[in-house]
Structure 1
Amino acid sequence: MTPLLLIGAGGLAREVAQLVHAINDASPTWDLLGHLDDDPAKQGAVVDGVPVLAGSSEVFKREDARVVICTAGPRDTASRARIAARLALPGERYATLVHPSASVSRSSAIGPGSIVLAQVVMTAAVSVGAHVCVMPHVTLTHDDVVEDYATIASGARFAGGVRVGRGAYVGAGALVRETLTIGPHALVGMGSVVTKNVPAQEVWAGVPAKFIRPATVITEH
C-alpha cells in the first residue's frame, strides 16, 4: 500500500481519515501514516486512532508518501492554497481521495489533492480542480466546473454549467441555478438559493441570495 500523510488534524482531516479507511475497506490502497499539524499542542496526540506525527515539514522527510491538505472553513478560504504554496510539492506527490460511495461519471475529472466525500454525485463532464474539497451529499451536474482550492459544503446542489472560482466556499445546502458563476474567494451562505452571479470576494446569503458584505480573504501566499 502507498504511504499517505494528511496535513491538518481538525474536523476535515478527521473526516478524510475515515474516508481513507472506507477506501481501504473496499480495496486496500493507502497506508495512513498519520496527521501532520504545525500546532505543537496537537503533535503527539492521537485523533480517532490516527497519530499526529509532527509538523507539515515532515513531508520532506517522507518522500515516499503521498499527501493531502485537509484544511477548510469559511473563515479562511485560502488556507489550502497557502500550505500548497509553502510546501511547493510537485503535483504527483498529492493523492486524490474519492469515497467508494461517490458516483463519479466516466466523463468527469478530479484534480490532484482533491477530496470527494460520501454520496457525492457528479453526473456528466464535471471538472473538479486541484485541492478541492467536496463534502458529503453534494450534487454536481453536467458541465459544472469547480476551480482549484474551492470548497463545496455538504448537501449543496448545482444545476448544469455552473462555475465555482478558485478558493470559493459554497455553504451547506446551497442551491445554484444553471450557468451561473461564483467568483474566486466568494462565500455563499448555507441554505442560500443562488439565482445571480456572485462576484469575487463577496459574501452572499439568503433566499434568493443577496450581497451581504465583502469577504475577508487572507492571502494565498
Structure 2
Amino acid sequence: MSGLLIVGAGGFARETAQAVRDAGEFKLLGHLDDNPALHGTEVDGVPVLGGCDLVHDLPDARVVICVGNPSNYAARARLVRRLALPADRYATVIHPTAVVSATSEVGPGSVLLAHCVLTAAVRVGAHVAVMPQVVLTHDDVVEDCATLASGVRLGGGVRLERGAYVGSGALVREGTTVGAWSLIGMGSSVLGDVPPGEVWVGSPARRLRAADTPALDELSTRTARATRTVGGPLT
C-alpha cells in the first residue's frame, strides 16, 4: 500500500483524510502545511509533519494538494506550480460512496468526496476538488484546478475552465461554459456562459464584479504562457 501525504491541514484537507481512511487504498502518512504553529501537532489524529516542501524529502510518497477556499481558490494551482512534482507523484482520491461511470475519467491529484456522481463520459482534470453530493452529468468537462462545492449540479455538456469555482448548491445549465478563474456564488443558477475572471451570483446568475486578485493573477499568468507558446518569448 502506497503512503500518501496531504498538502494542507484545513477543512478540505481534513475531509480528504477521512476519505482516504474510508477508501483504504493508501496509507495516510500525514499532513504538510506551511504554518509552523501546526508542525508537530495532530489534526483529527493525523500528524502534521512539516512544511509543504517536505514532499521532496519523501520521494516514495504519493501526494494530493488540498488547499483553497472561496477567498483564495487559486492557492492549489500556485502550490502545484511551486512544488513542480511529476504527474505520477499525485494520487487520485475517490470516496467509496462516489459513483464514477466506466466512461468517465478523473485526473491526478483530484479528490472526489462522498456521494459524488459522474454519470457518462465526464472528464475531470488534474487537481480538481469535488465536494460531497456533486452531480456531473453526461459529457461535462472540468478542467484542472477547478473547485465544485457541495451540492453543485452541472447539466450535460457543461465546461468549467481551468480554476473555476462553483459555490455550494449552484446549478449550471446544460451546454454552458464557466470561464477560467471565475467564481459562481452559492445557490446561483447559471443560464448562460460566464467570461473568465468574473464573479457571478444570483438566480439567474449575473455579473457582480471581477474576481479577486489571486484568481486574476492566475488568469494573466496562463494567458502570458499561451502567448509565449504561440508567438515566442514576450519582450
TM-score of Structure 1 vs Structure 2, range by shorter chain:
over 0.9
1:22-67 superposed Cα distances (whole Å, 9 cap, x missing partner): 101xxxx211110000110111110000000000111111001000
List structure 1 runs of 4+ shifted beyond 6 angstroms: none
Which residue of structure 2 lines up, in the alignment, with residue 180 of structure 1?
176
Which residue of structure 1 lines up, in the alignment, with residue 107 of structure 2?
111
Which residue of structure 2 lines up, in the alignment, with residue 18 of structure 1?
18
What displacement does 1:116 show? 0.3
Which residue of structure 2 lines up, in the alignment, with residue 4 of structure 1?
4
DSSP 3-state at the match of 1:41: helix
The amino acid of 2:93's aligned partner reads: L
Query: Is the Cα contact below 8 Å between 1:77 and 1:217 reproduced in 2?
Result: no
The amino acid of 1:201's aligned partner reads: G
The amino acid of 1:14's aligned partner reads: R
- Total equivalences in the alignment: 217
For 2:56 and 2:157, locate their aligned partners in 1 and report how far apart those are by CA, in whole Å. 39
Which residue of structure 1 lines up, in the alignment, with residue 224 of structure 2?
none
For 2:150 and 2:208, locate their aligned partners in 1 and report how far apart those are by CA, in whole Å. 22
What displacement does 1:78 show? 1.3
For 1:109 and 1:185, locate their aligned partners in 2 and report how far apart those are by CA, in whole Å. 22
Structure 2 gap segments, 5+ residues each: 222-235
Q: Is 1:142–2:138 an aligned residue pair?
A: yes
What displacement does 1:217 show? 3.5
DSSP 3-state at the match of 1:16: helix
- Identity of counterpart residues, as a percentage? 59
Matches within 5 A, 1:97-108: 97-108=93-104
Q: TM-score, normalised by structure 1?
A: 0.97
> CA-atom RMSD, angstroms?
0.9
Q: Is 1:152–2:151 an aligned residue pair?
A: no
Tell me which of the two structures has the higher relative contact order, counting C-alpha pairs closer than 8 angstroms and 6 or more residues apart: 1
The amino acid of 2:206's aligned partner reads: K
Deviates more, 1:70-79 or 1:97-106: 70-79
For 2:213 and 2:14, locate their aligned partners in 1 and report how far apart those are by CA, in whole Å. 25
Which residue of structure 1 lines up, in the alignment, with residue 187 of structure 2?
191
For 1:181 and 1:211, locate their aligned partners in 2 and report how far apart those are by CA, in whole Å. 14
DSSP 3-state at the match of 1:211: strand
